[in-house]
A = this chain, B = another copy of it.
Amino acid sequence: MKTTISSKTKKATINTDGPFVVIGEKINPTGRKKLAAALQEGNLDYVRELATKQIEAGADILDVNVGMAGTDDVEYLPKIVKVLVDEFDIPLCLDTPNPKALAAALPLVQGRVLINSVNGEEKSLEAVLPLVKEYNAAVIGLTIGEEGISNDPEVRLAAAAKIIERAGKLGIPAEDIVIDPLVMTVGADSNAGLTTLTTIELVKREFGVNVNLGASNVSFGLPERDVINTAFLGLAIGAGATCAITDPMKYTLSIRAIDLLRGRDGYGMRYLKYYRAHAPEKTEKS
Contact = CB atoms under 8 A, between A and B. Distances in A.
A262 B193 contact: yes
A130 interface: no
B230 A186 contact: no
Interface string A230-263: 1111110111000000000000011001101111
A286 B286 CA distance: 6
Given A234-B233, A234-B235, A238-B238, A261 B224 contact: no
B254 A222 contact: no
A102 to B, nearest CB: 33
A262 B197 contact: yes
Contacts of A233: 231, 234
A223 B279 contact: yes
Contact of A232 (B224, B228, B232, B261): B261
A138 interface: no
A271 B222 contact: yes
B268 A190 contact: yes
A186 B227 contact: no
Most chain B CB within 10 A, of A230, A257, A258, is at: A257
Interface in A204-242: 218, 222-224, 227-228, 230-235, 237-239
A231 B234 contact: yes
